[in-house]
């Protein structure tokens, strides 16, 4: 017998679910209906609703395969998320059984799911999450969270009931790279603040955290061979605050915590421009041998390492060596943007000299898209931050590099930059790339954004957050939410699911969840927020 086909296009299911929901409003006083399977952000690849709902109860166990420490750790993470609001013990066990929350690694149900995909099946007795790899289990857990009532995110006991709609979700990512960048140089963010952001990113299946660790206003990572970089160069920030930096132990803790949420940390040392903090720390890095003062403003493009000096490359080699030793991920980002004080020949010389140093320490080089104006090495990744109206010649350089094998991460500033203001009334953020509404940040397709780029050249998307105007986690979250969720969906969900009207309804349902988590998100007027 042929097995029935599972894959049902999400848009058809969403349309059916909308029609059913319109005629099936709960009676007054009745428990709220379980969240439909197609209400998830990012949109799943395929859903098949049907069958009885699963109800989480006081006797529910989380069952994991014996011998998988990773599955057991993820189960413990899930139990920790759910215990406060439900009040249930939710023990984790390796004893077999077909009831409760069941994790499965490998086997028939995991075929074709790759490194990060999962299958979630819900019925009257159990919710089963199957995956080929632990990352898939983790992403399935994030989906399960969204299928439970938003109150499950609260840290105090809530009344329930805790129901999960019946049916099956089959889900795999569109792009391998789904990133977010956090600028800790303009304003410093502590280890705990970075961890909080990592948890928020993980909810939406983001798998890369790009840390912008150096800029004109601050150097944020301890380098033993050049100790004044962090001690002096990291002593201030925009506006003249205290600044700060990460010790090597701090950085390792961020890397460890990110890995526990299946995010890879990608450190960036921006150069040859955006280097005033380094130039102020060591006079020999300047062509005239004179150290400039520390800088606490917000201008760009005025600083440059001295390309002709031997000590410059000794400095770069030492920094990359120490940073590579701290970073288990495959990527090191060398910046390269807005090097207005570096001549083009010097820029090419610098980039052509520094890229092999990254390879020397076993890493893959990443640079902002200006790297394509030099000679990207084989395997290099260029991060495109141009705008819709970026000049044709500049865009063509990027397209040509992609055709020659350079892979691209797309972060168009007037679409994906989370630090841009939503509109003229937004109290935080910048405007140089224009206003970026929630719809504008969502309504573009990475697959055809740069005409002429081969489809396979797009590695993924990233949502940068520059911190000139951000001084707290609350500031960060106000600009990230709700736009972060849309960029995450562009990276994860199939192109055929892309539809603003359907998305804004799913996004609106995230509001109560963010309320429960204490996220002060921007209530965008184009989104029909639930309960607002």
- Cα separation, 243 vs 306, in Å, equals 25
Q: Which of 241, 239, 243, 198 minimizes the C-alpha distance to 220? A: 243
Instruction: In whole angstroms, give the CA distance from residue 79 to residue 102.
Output: 12
Query: Which residue among 70, 338, 394, 471 is the active-site one?
Result: 338
Cis bond upstream, residue 342 (ω within 30): no
3-state helix, strand, coil in the chain (%, to 5): 35, 15, 45
Q: In this structure, are residues 215 and 183 in contact, taking their beta carbons and an 8 Å threshold? A: yes
Q: 514 is written with which tokens?
A: 């963010």
Dihedral (CA of 510, 511, 515, 521) sign:
positive
Query: Which of the 8 DSSP states describes residue 204?
Result: T
The yes-or-no answer on residue 468 being catalytic is no
Distance between CA 168 and CA 37 in Å, rounded?
A: 8
Check: CB of residue 219 under 8 Å from CB of residue 282.
no
- Helices H, strands E: what count in the chain? 16, 19
Identify the CA nearest to 208 among candidates 132, 116, 274, 118: 116
Cβ atoms of 148 and 33 within 8 Å: the answer is no
Q: How far apart are the first and last CA of the chain?
A: 50
Please identify which residue in the block is written with the tokens 């150096």: 214
Longest dimension (CA), the chain: 80
Rounded to whole angstroms, the Cα distance separating 275 from 289 reads 15
The β-bridge partners of 384 are: 410
Reduced to 3 states, what is the DSSP secondary structure of residue 453? coil
Q: Which of 244, 82, 96 is CA-nearest to residue 164?
A: 82
Residue 60: DSSP 8-state: -
Kindly provide the residue ranges of all beta strands, DSSP E only, lying in 269-359, ordered along the sequence: 331-333
Kindly list the strands in the beta sheet with 62-63, ordered across the sheet, starting from the edge strand earlier in the chain: 46-49, 167-171, 118-122, 126-131, 100-105, 62-63, 92-93
Contact 332, 259 (CB under 8 A): no
Name the residues annotated as catalytic. Answer: 338
């Amino acid at each position: 017998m042929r097995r029935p086909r599972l894959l049902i296009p999400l848009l058809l299911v969403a349309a059916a679910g909308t029609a059913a929901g319109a005629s099936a409003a709960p009676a007054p006083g009745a428990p709220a209906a379980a969240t439909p399977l197609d209400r998830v952000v990012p949109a799943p690849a395929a859903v098949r609703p049907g069958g009885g709902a699963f109800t989480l109860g006081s006797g529910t166990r989380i069952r994991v395969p014996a011998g998988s420490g990773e599955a057991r750790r993820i189960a413990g993470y899930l139990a920790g998320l759910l215990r406060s609001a439900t009040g249930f013990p939710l023990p984790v066990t390796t004893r077999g059984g077909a009831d409760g929350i069941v994790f499965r690694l490998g086997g028939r149900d995991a075929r074709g799911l790759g490194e990060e995909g999962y299958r979630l099946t819900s019925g009257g007795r159990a919710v089963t999450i199957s995956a080929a790899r632990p990352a898939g289990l983790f992403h399935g857990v994030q989906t399960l969270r969204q299928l439970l009532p938003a109150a499950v995110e609260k840290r105090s006991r809530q009344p329930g009931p805790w129901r999960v709609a019946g049916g099956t979700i089959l889900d795999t990512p569109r792009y391998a790279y789904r990133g977010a960048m956090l600028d800790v140089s303009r304003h410093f963010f502590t280890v705990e603040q970075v961890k909080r952001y990592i948890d928020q990113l993980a909810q939406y299946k983001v798998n890369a955290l790009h840390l912008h660790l150096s800029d004109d206003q601050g150097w944020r990572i301890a380098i033993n061979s050049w100790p004044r970089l962090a001690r002096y160069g990291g002593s201030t920030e925009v506006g003249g605050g205290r600044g700060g930096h990460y010790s090597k132990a701090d950085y390792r803790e961020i890397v460890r915590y990110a890995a526990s949420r299946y995010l890879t940390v990608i450190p960036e040392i921006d150069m040859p421009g955006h280097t005033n903090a380094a130039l102020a720390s060591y006079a020999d890095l300047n062509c005239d041998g004179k150290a400039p003062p520390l800088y606490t403003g917000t201008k760009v493009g005025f600083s440059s390492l001295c390309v002709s000096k031997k000590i410059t490359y000794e400095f770069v080699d030492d920094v990359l060596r120490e940073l590579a030793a701290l970073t288990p991920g495959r990527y090191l980002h060398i910046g390269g943007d807005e090097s207005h004080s570096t001549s083009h020949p010097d820029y090419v010389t610098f980039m052509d000299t520094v890229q092999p140093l990254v390879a020397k320490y076993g890493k893959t080089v990443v640079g902002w898209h200006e790297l394509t104006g030099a000679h990207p090495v084989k395997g290099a990744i260029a991060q495109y931050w141009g705008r819709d109206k970026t000049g044709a010649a500049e865009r063509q350089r990027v397209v040509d590099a992609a055709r020659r094998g350079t892979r691209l991460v797309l972060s168009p500033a007037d679409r994906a930059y989370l630090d841009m203001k939503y509109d003229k009334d937004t109290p935080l953020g910048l405007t140089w790339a224009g206003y970026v509404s929630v719809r504008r940040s969502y309504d573009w397709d990475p697959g055809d954004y740069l005409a002429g780029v081969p489809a396979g050249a797009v590695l993924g998307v990233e949502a940068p957050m520059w911190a000139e105007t951000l001084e707290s986690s609350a500031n960060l979250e106000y600009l990230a939410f709700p736009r972060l969720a849309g960029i995450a969906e562009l990276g994860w969900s199939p192109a055929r699911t892309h539809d603003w009207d359907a998305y804004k309804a799913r996004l609106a349902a995230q509001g109560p969840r963010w309320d429960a988590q204490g996220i002060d998100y921007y209530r965008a007027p184009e989104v029909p927020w639930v309960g607002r």
